[in-house]
Amino acid sequence: MKIIRTYITFLFLALLLMGSCNIAPDPITYGSDTCHFCRMTIVDKQHASEIVTGKGKVFKFDAVECMLNYMKGLEDKSIALFLVNGYTGPGELIDATEATYLVSEGIPSPMGEYLTAFKTEIEAIEAQQKHGGELYSWQEMRNRFKD
SS (H, E, C) 78-92: HEEEEEEEECCEEEE
How many residues are there in the chain?
A: 147
The pTM is what? 0.83
Q: Hey, how many other C-beta atoms are within 10 angstroms of the C-beta on 89?
A: 14
pLDDT surpasses 90 at 20: no
DSSP, collapsed to helix, strand or coil, labels residue 117 as: strand
Residues 6+ apart with CB under 8 A from 26: 50, 52, 58, 60
Residues 101, 94 contacting (CB under 8 angstroms): no
Chain segment 34-49, per-residue pLDDT in tens: 999 999 999 999 999 9
Chain segment 76-95, per-residue pLDDT in tens: 788 999 999 999 999 999 99
The band of 9, judged by pLDDT with boundaries at 50, 70 and 90, is low
pLDDT surpasses 60 at 8: no
Pairing of strands 58-61, 89-95: unpaired
> CA 139, 65, 23, 41: dihedral to nearest 10 degrees?
-170
The band of 75, judged by pLDDT with boundaries at 50, 70 and 90, is confident
